[in-house]
Structure 1
Amino acid sequence: MSEHANLLRRHRAVMPSWMALNYSDPIEIVGGKGARVTDAEGNGYLDFFTGILTNMLGYDVPEVRDAVERQLATGVVHTSTGYLLRGQVELAEKIARLSGIPDAKVFFANSGTEANETALLLAAYARRSGQVLAMRQSYHGRSFAAAGVTGNRAWRNLSLSPLDVHFLHGADRHLPQFAGMSDGQYVDACTRDLRHVLATATGGDVAALIAEPIQGVGGFTMPPDGLFAAYKDVLDEFGILFVSDEVQTGWGRTGQGFWGIDGHGVTPDMMTFAKGLGNGFTIGGVVARRELMDALPALGISTFGGNPISMAAGNATLDYVLDHDLQANAARQGATIIGGLRAAAERLPIAADVRGKGLMFAVELADPRTGEPSPPLAAALMEAARERGLLIGKGGLYGNVVRMAPPLNLTDAEAAEGLGILIASLEAVSAAAGAGGRRGSSPGEEEAR
């Protein structure tokens, strides 16, 4: 029995069946350097999914490793938030400054789920309301309230929620009622629908809208730039708070701004963050206006949130991003890869859409004959890319989207290599599907030509 097969057998015996594993033959990653990893059987890969957007600088980054080792050398791995934590204060100062939120304060937690729970609590208390607006196709975490504001049935176990949630349009332009609309027309239609939801589905004060500027699990779907500005104009009329979930879009990944919401020209009332900031170390948090953050009357702590090790990693990671202007690198490398994928998609009918910003991009797979979403083709593309030495992810409302988020310090050579593997993999899957080389044509039509 192979190393991977043996570990998979043990995994299935003790881990829950709902913990999804990538690939028909799952792998164990045992080593990494830069943008590359090695599995337990000695195979090497270029990693374009980075632990679900978490290893933002890749693997074994000297600046991050050294910062963590310096903290370990002090012997203080953990105290608690009952003591002053220098690294926590230093990182909060940087995030507050970078947030653009006036008079901002920061609270650290352990994950994006915890961060979103905290933001929802702050909003509900400030507005004395359990009514929340969220986006269709969204994902905000696996806990009770976070799942309640998740607009994707595949990630919700119960219809029950501690919140009264109403879901909005904004990332669903594939629906027939929006067919043929320009960006402006779509934004106008969604904004009118928001007003209608407020007039018909809600009662009294609404606490907040929580939204991802680019939907992660939703398959990197996104509204047109400016939609959240239009939404916020309406929200402000009613005093409704706006929470931008930046767990996947923060720290310059989109290339368009340091935060995903920057593309909409809006400063939210709160932002949540996690994942990439720790470059693999556990971190999450909320940055919000002082009056929102300070308003809670009960005491609160986070036992592990903001711990000295994670703060050392977070400070080093953020400093590296800023010192090396990785937002600009994300914009440049993303333009190369997205442009290359779009050019290839013109001749590959299984590629229904290529979308993204910066180093956050996706390919949507569809049956070349019917145009319907095709999860099997997405799974096949993941396998084809892995066989050629590239790790990618999957998502989308229908499970038919492959999504990618390479390290922000991706080099020109790595971008070209990854693009080449992606195009070769798309070609192989397209050929296996009998799709030919021209969009929308059947094998019979190709032969007739």
Structure 2
Amino acid sequence: MADTAPGTTRDTEPNTAPGTAPASPHADLHARHLAVLPDWLATYYARPIELTHGEGRHVWDAEGNRYLDFFGGILTTMTAHALPEVQRAVAEQAGKLLHSSTLYLSRHAVELAERIAALSGIPDARVFFTTSGTEANDTALLLATAYRSSNQVLALRNSYHGRSFTAIGITGNSAWSPTSLSPLQTLYVHGGVRTRGPYAHLSDAEFTAACVADLEDVLGQVGGSVAALIAEPVQGVGGFTSGPDGLLAAFKRVLDRHGILWISDEVQTGWGRTGDNFWGWQAHQEAGPPDILTFAKGIGNGLSMGGVVARAEVMNCLSGNSISTFGGSPVTAAGALANLRHLLDHDLQGNAREVGGLLRSRLASIGAGLGIVREVRGRGLMLGVELVEPGTDTPSAAAAGLVLEAARERGLLIGKGGRAGNALRIAPPLSLTAAEAEEGAAVLEAALKHAQSELEGGAAQ
């Protein structure tokens, strides 16, 4: 699903005067886009660009400009653009059979499910394939509410879980909640943001204790049984924020006492992106694995692939029949399987840890000398840079917008997010080299300095 950061604007008029030819292929396509697609479908940049092809960690636009890709189509190009193994697997399968549905056996889907079940850490695991992270989270909520016979769901503040009706109903980020209507009763607890809010001044241990006390207090006030807690180990659209390691394990100990399920939303944190662990939940593993795990994005490397892993007792709790027309299709399963093999064979998790550590250190050094940088955070190749008005603690969406534009002009694509739209999101393919990390950091340094200069100049006028 598209999760372009809030605060992105859409041009309301064509880029050319009436009666004149469009100024560029981008302007022409953008005018057509505005005429036929929804107004709420956000795009990046004052003049949006069309990406036409890619290779490795680079992409090219329709005007021939080359970019170093530090966002990977929203953390989806996990290994590399135009990865030969994936291309071959997709082409070979497409030449045989494009589609069959889950009414028929699929060798690729079974093999992929076997691998994911073994990697998940969940005992007696079952895997259900979907076409997106939104659909995966929908399925997880269906399983949890059916298993527990309850529509009450716990979620973290500042969270984001997708675009569907039920996923919006558990999203704790107001910028991405277009309606208050929901089939679920959602209860929001603290823990997603470490350095802002009422517990920011506490030590990690005190922060965890305070969040657990908040959870206990919420549960003490709820009538009936709660179905599940759903949590991103690192909040993606929320700006790559997270609580301390061990927080979700502390939550799980409370949940287990009440029989409440834990859903770990690994749509953005899975497949080794955080470097230290294969799954985000493993930073909290002393309490054991989650009951349900959702995944998407990176596993398909651009193919429409998502899914749910749950222990058999939970996965098999549905009483009605079900199918998936497109989930785990022959082509997407073949491509995802090739992508996963490449990831494991080349230890891209280890690369994310090593190169991501270098990149974070470089960004922290850059940010230390700039008044618009409040915090550099994240782990592996999932890094966030929170921006503020120069010399203050006030979130600045304007700063993020300036950096986004300046980086693109200098040949670098990044993302942005956060509830205030003031956090840069940096998540390149996991095969990023140290030289490319340094190249991107240099561009970010120039873009950040440009943004600070613009904001300070504007404040002085």
Same topology, TM > 0.5: yes
Q: Matched residue of 2:122: which SS?
A: coil
Contact map agreement 2:194 2:244 (CA 8 A) in 1 = no
Identity across the alignment (%):
56
After TM superposition, the structure 1 stretch with the greater mean CA deviation from structure 2, 167-176 or 286-295, is 167-176
Q: Matched residue of 1:382: which SS?
A: helix
Contact map agreement 1:368 1:435 (CA 8 A) in 2 = no
Q: Aligned AA for 2:369?
A: R
Alpha-carbon distance, 1:174 to partner: 4.0
Is residue 304 of structure 2 the alignment partner of residue 295 of structure 1?
A: no
Alpha-carbon distance, 1:371 to partner: 2.1
Distance 1:146 1:215 in 2: 14
Is residue 444 of structure 2 the alignment partner of residue 422 of structure 1?
A: yes
Contact map agreement 2:152 2:225 (CA 8 A) in 1 = yes
Distance 2:116 2:53 in 1: 31
Alpha-carbon distance, 1:325 to partner: 0.5
Alpha-carbon distance, 1:434 to partner: 2.3
Is residue 282 of structure 2 the alignment partner of residue 262 of structure 1?
A: yes
Is residue 180 of structure 2 the alignment partner of residue 159 of structure 1?
A: yes
After the TM superposition, which residues 6-405 of structure 1 pair with which residues of structure 2 at under 5 Å, given as runs?
6-74=28-96, 76-200=97-221, 202-265=222-285, 266-405=288-427
CA deviation string 1:162-218 (max 9, x = no partner):
011100100233445224210000000000000000001x11211000000000110
Distance 1:79 1:431 in 2: 57
Distance 1:119 1:127 in 2: 12
Q: Aligned AA for 1:401?
A: A
Residues 356 and 176 of structure 1: CA distance in aligned 2, closer, same or farther (over 3 Å): closer
Distance 2:413 2:80 in 1: 13
Contact map agreement 1:349 1:435 (CA 8 A) in 2 = no
Distance 1:171 1:218 in 2: 9
Distance 2:304 2:64 in 1: 27
After TM superposition, the structure 1 stretch with the greater mean CA deviation from structure 2, 379-388 or 410-419, is 410-419
Q: Matched residue of 1:403: which SS?
A: strand
Q: Aligned AA for 2:247?
A: L
Q: Aligned AA for 1:260?
A: G
Residues 370 and 415 of structure 1: CA distance in aligned 2, closer, same or farther (over 3 Å): closer
Q: Aligned AA for 2:454?
A: A
Distance 2:389 2:349 in 1: 35
Q: Matched residue of 1:177: which SS?
A: coil
Alpha-carbon distance, 1:126 to partner: 0.7
Q: Aligned AA for 2:261?
A: L
Alpha-carbon distance, 1:157 to partner: 1.5
Distance 2:342 2:36 in 1: 39
Q: Matched residue of 1:433: which SS?
A: helix
Distance 1:53 1:175 in 2: 25
Distance 2:437 2:414 in 1: 13
CA deviation string 1:66-124 (max 9, x = no partner):
111110121x1001100000000000000000001000000001100100010001101
Alpha-carbon distance, 1:405 to partner: 0.5
Contact map agreement 1:348 1:435 (CA 8 A) in 2 = no
Alpha-carbon distance, 1:435 to partner: 8.1
Contact map agreement 1:245 1:272 (CA 8 A) in 2 = yes
After TM superposition, the structure 1 stretch with the greater mean CA deviation from structure 2, 242-251 or 152-161, is 152-161
Contact map agreement 2:194 2:241 (CA 8 A) in 1 = no
Distance 1:42 1:155 in 2: 33
Distance 1:130 1:171 in 2: 22
Contact map agreement 1:116 1:245 (CA 8 A) in 2 = yes
Distance 1:313 1:168 in 2: 38
Distance 2:351 2:391 in 1: 38
Partner of 1:439: none
Q: Aligned AA for 2:316?
A: D
Q: Aligned AA for 1:164?
A: Q
Alpha-carbon distance, 1:426 to partner: 1.1
Contact map agreement 1:106 1:286 (CA 8 A) in 2 = yes
After TM superposition, the structure 1 stretch with the greater mean CA deviation from structure 2, 367-376 or 392-401, is 367-376
Contact map agreement 1:254 1:358 (CA 8 A) in 2 = yes
Structure 2 runs not aligned, ≥5 long: 1-21
Contact map agreement 2:231 2:263 (CA 8 A) in 1 = yes
Contact map agreement 2:140 2:294 (CA 8 A) in 1 = yes
Aligned length: 437
Distance 2:385 2:170 in 1: 26
Residues 38 and 50 of structure 1: CA distance in aligned 2, closer, same or farther (over 3 Å): same
Contact map agreement 1:345 1:354 (CA 8 A) in 2 = yes
Distance 1:179 1:126 in 2: 36
Alpha-carbon distance, 1:137 to partner: 0.5
Residues 312 and 34 of structure 1: CA distance in aligned 2, closer, same or farther (over 3 Å): same
Contact map agreement 2:208 2:247 (CA 8 A) in 1 = yes
Distance 1:332 1:369 in 2: 32
Q: Aligned AA for 1:203?
A: G
Contact map agreement 2:128 2:307 (CA 8 A) in 1 = yes
Distance 1:297 1:123 in 2: 13
Contact map agreement 1:144 1:161 (CA 8 A) in 2 = yes
